[in-house]
A and B are shown apart, each in its own frame.
Chain A
Amino acid sequence: MTDARREGHDLRVLIADDEPDVRLLLRLGLRHHQIEVVGEAANGLEVLEQCAADPPEAVVLDLLMPRMTGFEVIPELQRDHPEIGIVAYTAVAGDFVRREMARLQIPLLLKRGDATPLAEALHAAAAQAQARAQAQA
């Protein structure tokens, strides 16, 4: 049981993917899992802008996005918003992607039609990020 669920509120999540229909799918699919989608971003720059303006509790982060990739976003978010949980969400993951996400300690999920594993990963990542931020404070 993660913090958001234990506290009885929906987890506030930002969806970042340059494909509008992937964002639609996630918006619809995640609502069944105590998740409120509070924002959508089509590239990495929009992720940083939205996190600065109204930080969510977790971010679904596509790795291949124009203008600024997910790979570039992760270090910035980890530095400026350690309280935000990040889940990398990608169509396919080769050795490079797996190694990079392991190095950055970011959970990695492959895109699938079923939103349940992603929802579980978001709740877990948010809880860990909050615990980490509180420990640092």
Chain B
Amino acid sequence: MADPGGGAESEEVAEALAALNVARGRFIAVAGHELRTPVTTLRGLAEELAGAIDPPDATSLAELAPAILRGARRVEALLDDLLLATDITTALPVGDLEPIELVSTAHAIWDAMGATDLLELTGDPEVEAMMRPGAADTLLERVLDNARRYGSPPFRLDAQQKGDRVHLRISNAGAELAPDDVGLAFELFYRGEAAVTSAPGFGIGLPVARALARQDGGDLWIEPRPGGGLDVHLELPVAR
């Protein structure tokens, strides 16, 4: 039976389904790509370990075990990310909010990544925000990793307390972002044109970081820098 009032609604449903289909396509493409490398590596390294062709020598053995462990951890991290990105609450960090020193945490993560470029600090190095410790580590790792992968020096960290909020700005120089990239940066599984051709990734770093910030009462957003590069802004409740 014809429904004269249902046309607009049907159109909205069709648009929503089309958007879902696009997101589904993106997800399959990036998940396939990102899982392929560690799974391939794990299989090949395990075959080497098993001596499928020749038994591995001592030098090879010493390299194989840590590489297999790294591959397994990478798959585990990818699965954690996927669960987190799809908002499955079991994958979100649990535990109580705690005062977190964001600047020292960021520097520790930066060093642990093996970054050789300096992360320059301005503002107040002792600001503390309320957050779950696991969430703070993951969030900062995502944002800093994003800066390193797609940006270039100088890398800067500015920390300020503004009333009952802590504001952190993480900046990098680099290429100018395409307008589409700015608008879609928080879309799950979206990867900008430059990102697709320069470094692997799931396209979930910023969406995950934002989800973690919002879970603990904060927010996260980005602003392209004039002339190229990016500012990532993080706001969280200040620790009392």
Contacts and interface: CB of A to CB of B under 8 A. Distances in A.
Interface in A25-49: 25, 28-29, 32
B37 interface: yes
Given A64-B196, A94-B29, A25 B149 contact: no
Contact of A29 (B33, B44, B200): B44
A69 B48 contact: no
Contact of B63 (A22, A24, A29, A66): A24
A91 B36 contact: yes
Contact of B43 (A18, A65, A113): A113
Given A24-B63, A115-B44, A67 B198 contact: yes
A92 to B, nearest CB: 5
A66 B174 CA distance: 13
Interface in B189-236: 196-200
Interface stretch (B52-60, B105-113, B137-145): B52-60
Nearest to A115: B44
Nearest to A63: B197
A33 to B, nearest CB: 9
A64 B44 CA distance: 20
Q: Classify chain B's interface size.
A: 20 to 34
Contact of A92 (B33, B44, B60): B33
Interface of A: 18-19, 21-22, 24-25, 28-29, 32, 64-67, 69, 71, 91-92, 94, 110-115
Interface of B: 29, 32-34, 36-38, 40-48, 53-54, 56, 60, 63-64, 67, 70-71, 149, 196-200
25 contacts: A21-B41, A21-B70, A22-B37, A24-B45, A24-B67, A25-B40, A28-B44, A28-B45, A28-B56, A28-B60, A28-B63, A28-B64, A29-B47, A64-B197, A64-B200, A65-B198, A66-B149, A66-B199, A69-B198, A91-B36, A92-B36, A111-B36, A113-B44, A113-B46, A113-B47
